[in-house]
């Protein structure tokens, strides 16, 4: 299990809190949630069983999971800026 990531994305006078939380290898997924003023605006689970199936050494596996989290975060941030999660 790796640590989650939190970011605040300001857009159009609002602050969007984006949170990514690893749900653990048993679920082989992490969850992305977008909050505005404490209310969940959007959520999605992202599976990573394909990363685990590669059988990478632990450090490489964690690096691959962090890269997937970062890519997902960037996609969500872009959606916020484009007004798709308003």
pLDDT of res. 85? 82
Tell me if 64 sits within 8 A of 51, measured CB to CB.
Answer: yes
pLDDT at 1: 62
Alpha-carbon torsion, ordered 35, 37, 41, 45, to 10 deg: 20
How do the pLDDT tens digits run along the chain, 86 residues long? 677 889 999 999 999 999 999 999 999 999 999 999 999 999 999 999 999 999 999 999 999 999 999 999 999 999 999 999 87
How far, in Å, CA of 74 to CA of 56, rounded? 24
Each domain of the chain, given as residue ranges in start order, spans: 5-81
Q: Kindly report the pTM of this predicted structure.
A: 0.87
| Distance of alpha carbon 83 from alpha carbon 48, whole angstroms | 27
End-to-end CA distance of the chain: 31
């Amino acid at each position: 299990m790796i640590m989650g990531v939190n970011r605040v994305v300001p857009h159009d006078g609002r602050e969007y809190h984006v949170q990514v939380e690893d749900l653990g290898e048993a679920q082989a997924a992490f969850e992305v949630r977008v909050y505005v003023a404490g209310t969940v605006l959007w959520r999605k689970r992202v599976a990573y069983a394909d990363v685990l199936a590669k059988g990478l050494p632990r450090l490489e596996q964690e690096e691959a999971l962090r890269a997937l989290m970062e890519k997902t975060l960037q996609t969500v941030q872009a959606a916020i800026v484009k007004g798709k999660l308003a």
